[in-house]
Amino acid sequence: MLEGNLRRALIGASLFAGAGLVSAIATPARAEDPRERLRRKRLHNLPLLTQDGRTVRFYDDVVKDRKVVISVMYTGCSNICTPATRNLMEARERLGDFGRDIHFVSISLTPLTDTPAELRAYKKAHGIGADWTFLTGKPAHVEQVTRGLGLLSEDPADDLLSHSGSAVIADEKLLKWGHGSTLTGGRALARMIRFELV
């Protein structure tokens, strides 16, 4: 009698366990949305400051639902940043109507010295229009944002000023992300932007 009850209990337990397994297989866990996964891993929603001193959240206010070209720079840099900025300006001009809804963003790598006032002066000195956003902020936020974008090495031991002449070219809404060189000249850069955002 005891053996029969034990046997029935074991059979019932195994059927219950099997049903749970079938149920788990039949209803797999929902996969994380790719856009959200990318945002969480790479597009840090940290507060930064614009050249006008306005606080913006990097993902929500700068990148979300936009076509963007994002570069890094600092006002004291002349060997890479100045020609890169000129090439970006030329590319933007060459894009004409195609570039009307592309937002250009430059992030300073020396946020302690590149205050909003310094960035405003830099824009004025280079004749850059009001619709191009320059960003600065707390050094830790700037570092996390720029490393997340792949514009700097992910190795924290690497110097922030050892940056490449790359720009991120993206349509965030469509999950289209690429990099282009800002040192190839304005014409080539405009072609790269068109290719990535067409």
The C-alpha R_g of the chain, in whole angstroms, comes to 25
The packing angle between helices 81-95 and 116-126, to 10°, is: 60
DSSP structure class, residue 173: G
DSSP structure class, residue 99: G
Characterize the bridge pairing of strands 102-108 and 133-136: parallel
Helices H / strands E in the chain, number of each = 6, 7
The number of angstroms, rounded, from the C-alpha of 78 to the middle of its chain's C-alpha atoms is 25
Does the annotation list 163 as a binding residue?
yes
Which segments of 43-185 does DSSP mark as H helices, in order? 81-95, 116-126, 139-148
DSSP structure class, residue 175: T
Residue carrying the six token digits 């009850």: 5
The number of angstroms, rounded, from the C-alpha of 136 to the middle of its chain's C-alpha atoms is 15
Does the annotation list 81 as a binding residue?
yes
Q: Which residues are annotated as a binding site?
A: 77, 81, 163
Q: Which residues are annotated as a binding site for Cu cation?
A: 77, 81, 163
